[in-house]
Homo-oligomer: A and B are copies of this chain.
Amino acid sequence: MADDTATTIVDFRTERARYKHWKLGFDGPVATLVMDVREDGGLKPGYELKLNSYDLGVDIELYDALQRLRFEHPEVRAVVLTSGKERVFCAGANIRMLNQSSHGWKVNFCKFTNETRNAIEEATAESRQAYLCAINGPCAGGGYELALATDWIIMADDGSTTVALPEVPLLAVLPGTGGLTRLVDKRKVRRDRADFFCTLEEGIKGQRAVDWRLVDEVVPRSKLDETVKRRAAEMAARSDRPQGAKGVTLTPLARSIEGDRIAYSTVTCVIDRDRGVAEITIAGPATPPPATVEGIHAVGAGFWPLTLARELDDLILHLRANEEKIGIWVFRSTGGRDLVEAHDRALQDHAGHWLVREIRLYLKRTFKRLDVSSRSVFALIEPGSCFVGTLLELVLAADRSYMLDGVLEGDAGKPAALRLTAMNFGAYPMVNGLTRLASRFLGEPDRALDLKRRLGEDLEAAAAGEAGLVTFVPDDIDWEDEVRLGIEARAAFSPDALTGMEASLRFGGPETLESKIFSRLSAWQNWIFQRPNAVGDKGALRVYGTGQRSEFDRRRV
């Protein structure tokens, strides 16, 4: 995104007091998240965010609001998503913004927005904080895709309120945030009706939208608030979120960027621009976890697993948006294995507690973000490391891992070892619904089961290699050369070919709504984002709003 960000760094950290575009209201167990985009509040110059259209900055706030609702508001059991504008719900992603963006920016923007919409569905299903949507004005493109991510869509029946996915007819691109997939796979709209709907600039309103499964109910404008209130109360009543619990504040995330060094408290990243590598080191916990869940709650954002999730999440987002030429992320860890294992035990023992559930889900989402990142991920397992349980997921997420067999000459320490914990067996499924272990051993499902018997065991290089947990186990003679050559070779390949290869190899086995969005839909959208019919001089995206007509190469591919 060099074109876009020569001078600014995109910062994903924000907080409610700084929101420009969203208002958050609370009424007992129901929160209302009101989209009210400030036209002059774009992340970059060059476009106005008219008609509640959005850019990355709007979505960063939405993402932050979602996180805070989960952690800071245990009492919230239902969230109403609606518009604060008089005459429009949301016009979708801002077209001028898309138009002035590089290909990489567009793709990264869509990926982040997709992740946030997936998180809305996860909050509903797993945090039991259910999202519903009150459509109180025309709702098009990304606006409708946002509605589609909620579990119940109520639309005003007022003659002007419609839902629409007009991307194909208006802009010659796809609805890029899961819309097509959610139509046929989530809402199970009949494919021929979906086809017609997606070619209709003006969208569909009223009862037909219900009959076609595009929304769940339509009500007269005058009844909208009352109906939304009732539905929200019904959804809230079904939640298992606790009564009377206090939230945990997501305190400002301390991050320093000095030259090529990005440092948080447990995560450090050093960028080697010559080699195109980000060397990421995770520090294990310095102390044992609190003995009780009350203690964990008291520590709050300082509880190591939550700190880890927040810092790693922010680093991934930062690197994706601001360091696109850094194509290889190399993970190391340092710290005590017992301390990591103790924290995993806490996450396991208190899995039923709302806060621990949230932390586990946040870690899950963060690892999923890593899986769908268009960067090569390597893990290096060296003496002094603590790839145990939760941190072992980083090794399993890696495209390739190297584990030093023994120690380097002159090192008096102990060899590296991996350790499995219960957290490797279900807490962190990938977007395809499988654990990383199950994804790894698709061909030998018994292996993953066998490994369950080895929980807590220290697996040094030979044993880890034998168990299939690591790719290579060079000894001290080969270590340095093998790792260096592996990284150098990787850095020399075409970034695009690597992205396509990694996206294909990482997700063997079953597909889910989520994996279909990141694979089928995003891949097609990326292709279309490259095509002259969309982005060429006469492409529809390019000429939109200029009064010029688009001209298409009519050859079908």
A residues whose Cβ falls under 8 Å from a Cβ of B: 1-2, 103-104, 107-108, 167-169, 171-174, 180-181, 183-185, 187-196, 198-199, 213, 276, 324-327, 374-375, 398-401, 439-444, 468, 470-471, 489-490, 493-511, 516, 519-521, 523-528, 530-531, 533-534, 540, 550, 552-557
Q: Which chain B residues lie closer than 8 Å to A183 at the CB level?
A: 505
Q: Does A504 contact B181, Cβ atoms closer than 8 Å?
A: yes
Given contacts A104-B556, A173-B497, A552-B495, contact A508 B188 (CB under 8 A): yes
Question: Can you give 22 A-B contacts (C-beta < 8 A)?
Answer: A1-B555, A167-B497, A173-B497, A180-B504, A183-B505, A184-B442, A184-B504, A184-B505, A185-B442, A185-B509, A188-B442, A191-B439, A191-B506, A192-B400, A198-B501, A326-B556, A494-B533, A494-B552, A495-B553, A497-B534, A499-B556, A527-B530
Asked if B523 and A493 sit within 8 Å, CB to CB, the answer is no
Q: Which of B184, B504, B510 contacts A511 (CB 8 A)?
A: B510
16 additional A-B residue pairs with CB within 8 Å, beyond A192-B398, A503-B520, A520-B523: A168-B493, A168-B498, A181-B504, A183-B505, A185-B442, A185-B508, A185-B509, A190-B441, A192-B470, A195-B505, A327-B556, A495-B554, A496-B528, A519-B519, A523-B526, A526-B527
CB distance from A93 to the nearest CB of B (A): 15
User: Chain B residues near A185 (CB, 8 Å)?
Assistant: 442, 508-509
Which single residue of chain B is at the shortest CB-CB distance from A524? B500
On whether A107 and B500 interact (CB within 8 A), knowing A199-B490, A505-B184, A520-B520, the answer reads no
User: Which B residues are CB-close (under 8 A) to A527?
Assistant: 496, 500, 523, 526-527, 530
Question: A276 with B184: in contact, given A399-B192, A524-B523 (CB under 8 Å)?
Answer: no
Q: Which residues of B contact A557 (CB under 8 A)?
A: 103-104, 107-108, 324, 374, 495-496, 499, 526
Copies in the complex: 2
Among B503, B530, B540, which residue has its beta carbon within 8 angstroms of that of A530? Answer: B530
The docked-state distance in angstroms from the alpha carbon of A119 to that of B19 is 56
Given A167-B497, A180-B504, A496-B527, A443 and B192 contact (CB-CB distance below 8 Å): no
**C-alpha spacing A430/B253, complex, angstroms:** 50
Complex interface: chain B residues within 8 A of A173 (CB): 497
Most B Cβ at <10 Å: residue of A191, A443, A502, A530? A191
* Of the residues B511, B530, B533, contact of A516 by C-beta under 8 Å: B511
Q: Is the CB of A496 within 8 A of B531?
A: yes
Q: From A442, which residue of chain B is reached at the shortest CB distance?
A: B188
A528 close to B497 (CB less than 8 A): yes
In the complex the two chains form, what is the Cα distance from A183 to B556 in whole Å?
30
- Residues of B within 8 Å of A324, CB to CB, are 555-557
| CB nearest neighbor in B for A111 | B557
Bound-state Cα–Cα, A525 to B442, Å: 24
Chain B residues with CB under 8 Å of A326's CB are 556
Closest chain B residue to A472, Cβ basis: B196
Tell whether A192 pairs with B495 under 8 Å between CB atoms, given A520-B504, A520-B519.
Answer: no
Complex CA gap A196/B376 in Å reads 12
Tell me which residues across on chain B come within 8 A of A194, comparing CB atoms: 505
Give Cα distance in the complex from A151 to B188, angstroms: 35
Q: A511-B510, A556-B325, A556-B374 are in contact. Are A471 and B440 (CB under 8 A)?
A: no
- What is the bound-complex CA distance between A490 and B199, given in angstroms? 8
Using Cβ atoms and an 8 Å threshold, which residues of chain B touch A521? 504
Residues from chain B with a CB closer than 8 A to the CB of A502 are 195
Measured between beta carbons, the chain B residues less than 8 angstroms from A516 are 511, 519
Residues of B within 8 A of A531 (CB): 494, 496, 530
State A523–B528 Cα separation when bound (angstroms).
Answer: 10
Is the pair B187, A494 in contact by a Cβ cutoff of 8 Å?
no
Please name the residue on chain B nearest to A195 by beta carbon: B399
- The chain B residue with its CB closest to the CB of A553 is B495
Q: A401 contacts which of B168, B192, B528 (Cβ < 8 Å)?
A: B192
Residue among A183, A326, A500, A524 with the most chain B CB within 10 A? A500
Question: Are A554 and B276 in contact, CB atoms less than 8 angstroms apart?
Answer: yes
State whether A180 and B511 are in contact (beta carbons under 8 Å apart), knowing that A324-B555, A497-B173, A500-B527 are contacts in the complex: no
Q: Least Cβ distance of A424 to chain B in Å?
A: 16
In the assembled complex, the Cα of A227 lies from the Cα of B506 at a distance in Å of 35
Given contacts A174-B500, A196-B471, A496-B531, contact A327 B554 (CB under 8 A): yes
Nearest CB on B from A557, distance (A): 5
Closest Cβ of chain B: how far from A466's Cβ, in Å?
Answer: 12
Please give the distance in Å from A255's CB to the nearest CB on chain B.
22
Residues of B within 8 A of A525 (CB): 500
Q: With A and B bound together, what is the CA distance between A496 and B324 in angstroms?
A: 27
User: Is the beta-carbon distance between A493 and B524 smaller than 8 angstroms?
Assistant: no
The distance in angstroms between the C-alpha atoms of A553 and B440, with both chains bound, is 32
Docked complex Cα distance between A408 and B213 (Å): 32
B residues near A471, Cβ cutoff 8 Å: 192-193, 195-196
- The answer on a CB contact under 8 Å between B505 and A104 is no
Residues of B contacting A181 in the complex (Cβ-Cβ under 8 angstroms) = 504
- B residues less than 8 Å from A510 (CB atoms): 511
**From A517, which residue of chain B is reached at the shortest CB distance?**
B504
A521 to B499 Cα, complex, angstroms: 11
Nearest chain B CB to A184's CB is how many angstroms away? 4
- CB pair A191–B443 under 8 Å, yes or no, is no
